[in-house]
Structure 1
Amino acid sequence: MTKHFRNLGPKGVIHDWRKFKLESEDHESIPPNKRELLRQMSNPKSNNDDTREKHGRKMSTQEYEMIQEEDESCLRKYRKQCMQEMHERLSFGPTFDAVFELDSGEAFLDVIEKEHPLTLVVVHIYDNGIRGCDALNNCLTCLAAEYSTVKFCRIKASATGADERFSDDVLPALLVYKAGELLGNFLSITKHLNEEFFAMDVENFLNEYGLLPEKEIAACPDEEENADVE
């Protein structure tokens, strides 16, 4: 079930984080006293103002101690979920986090013509044994983690149904679409890159043509794992 984080003030954000933590915890592994404390923190109630004030002073120390114990991976998950829901509320279209394999020409046409009109679609046409194709696939996997609003796809030339247009001498090819319109058509894209290239090189190349939005989520999954949580 999708959770909506609507509170934008400091207290509201803290409340949403507590609620998210409570709902994401493995309840069987939480001691009863900690579980009750989390429940109270996520939905504090009291029928008496004096009792509420007194209880609030007591909770402040406990809250501080518990915040220090929060799991960093859960905090990263919370931040990413907030970012995704912000995109949805602002009508930025759907978000993605992987490279999609297209297995037919029909699937190729569908992703071009039926994807959300706000979604930028980047398609890598490749084939096995073609120099640069594997490297470009790896680069797009990394970029997919950085650009959540872009749909990165790949398809073997033989699966497109247009082998004569995508012969070995024009691979790897990179096509960029939005709302069904072709924005970029880069054949033999490795000719525009260094002999050894990385995700940043592909990113810079696409940015030269203004084909990428601003980054939303930082770097590759392995870099995210090592990121410090503020």
Structure 2
Amino acid sequence: MSGSGDEEEEVPATHTGPKGVIHDWRKFKLESEDHESMTQKRRELLRQMSNPRPNVDDDPERVNRKMSVQEYEMIKEEDEQSLKKYRKQCMQEMHERLSFGPRFDSVLELESGEAFLEAIENEHHLTLVVVHIYDNSIKGCEALNNCLTCLAAEYCTVKFCRIQASVTGADEKFTDDVLPTVLVYKGGEMLGNFICVTKHLSEEFFATDVENFLNEYGLLPEKEFAACSDKEEEEHGVE
């Protein structure tokens, strides 16, 4: 399910097209250069190239003159380390804009109550976090873990987690009659609280059943691709 306009992350305006890319690169290079090792002339030239608006104190003749061949060659030189850093930053920013947050491909095992809190509170504000609180001695918990493993491969923008009730620090609340429990969060806010979730599923359930259940509440984004075959799904059912 696609997020609403209110949920979309506000992305700073970026320059597009060849001229915009050159402008961004020059600005990045200026900011990342070691100013102590640069000549005054180079610093001033890079400053001018990264700022299309000249300062009022600039000499009009110096501002409007054509760039010399030597200056052009100086700007043209690529600092490989700085260029790599710039490319990496661009890729990360593009990834964040396109995916609206980080990506995952497996279920994260949480080892403590503190890890549980961090998984929710320290996550990207647009990332959906699904937490399964389980005890493998309870019927349905192991099968649900298997189903979530399959869904984690299909929904790469959703952070699927699981934690044993005994390590939550609140195991007295997660008694046998409420397990398996599934909690859903986004931006630190709880969107879903499903206790004894297997009661909402058939006796034998598969990844598609869990998927449909979550979709009934609008708790899953659009699926990117199907990662599980029918045979794999059958293996995720309750024995």
Q: Compute the TM-score of the two structures, normalised by the length of structure 1.
A: 0.58
Kept in 2, the 8 Å contact 1:93–1:116? The answer is yes
Give the gaps of 5 or more residues in structure 2.
1-91, 233-239
Correspondence for 1:107: 115
Distance 1:98 1:91, change over 3 A: closer
Q: Can you list the C-alpha shifts for 1:194-222, whole angstroms capped at 9, x where unaligned? A: 00000000000000000000001322289
Partner of 1:64: none
SS in 2 for 1:185: strand
Instruction: Name the residue aligned to 2:209.
Output: 201
Residue in structure 1 matching 2:170, options 158, 162, 167: 162
| 2:222 aligned residue | 214
**Alignment deviations for residues 20-51 of structure 1 (CA, whole Å, 9 cap, x no partner):** xxxxxxxxxxxxxxxxxxxxxxxxxxxxxxxx
Match for residue 139 of structure 2 among 114, 124, 131: 131
The one of 111, 116, 120 aligned to 2:124: 116
The counterpart of 2:98, out of the listed 90, 109, 121, is 90
> Which residue type is aligned with residue 207 of structure 1?
N
Shift of 1:165: 1.1
Q: How does 1:24-63 map to 2 (within 5 A)?
A: none
Which secondary structure state, in structure 1, belongs to the residue aligned with residue 119 of structure 2? helix
Q: Unmatched 5+ residue regions in structure 1?
A: 1-83, 225-230
Q: Counterpart of 1:178 in structure 2: which amino acid?
A: K
Against the structure 1 CA distance between its residues 148 and 91, is the aligned structure 2 distance closer, same or farther, given a 3 Å change threshold?
closer
Give the percent of matched residue pairs that are identical in Structure 1 and Structure 2: 80
| 1:171 and 2:182 matched | no
Which secondary structure does the structure 2 equivalent of 1:117 belong to? coil
Runs of 4+ in structure 1 over 6 Å off: 221-224
In the alignment, the residues of structure 2 paired with residue 160 and residue 221 of structure 1 have an alpha-carbon distance, to the nearest angstrom, of 33
Check 1:221–1:193 CA distance in 2 against 1; reply closer, same or farther (3 A cut).
closer
CA 159–221 in structure 1, closer or farther in 2 if over 3 Å, else same: farther
SS where residue 227 of structure 2 aligns?
coil
What TM-score results when the alignment is normalised by the length of structure 2? Answer: 0.56
Gap change, CA 1:188 and 1:155, over 3 Å in 2: same
Q: 1:129 to 1:151 in 2, by over 3 A?
A: same
1:89-115 CA deviation, whole Å, 9 max, x = no partner?
425100000000000000000011111
**Secondary structure of residue in 1 paired with 2:185:** strand
SS at match of 2:191: strand
Going from structure 1 to structure 2, the CA distance change for 1:91 and 1:143 (only over 3 Å counts) comes to closer
CA contact (8 A) 2:99 2:157 kept: no
Aligned to 2:160: 152
* Number of residue pairs the alignment of both structures matches: 141
Please report how far the alpha carbon of residue 182 of structure 1 lies from its aligned counterpart in structure 2 after TM superposition.
Answer: 0.4
Q: Deviations over 1:141-190 (max 9, x none)?
A: 00001000000000000110001111111000000000000000000000
> Residues 148 and 217 of structure 1 are in contact (CA less than 8 Å); yes or no, is this contact kept in structure 2?
no
Q: Which has the higher Rg, Structure 1 or Structure 2?
A: 2
- CA-based RMSD: 2.2
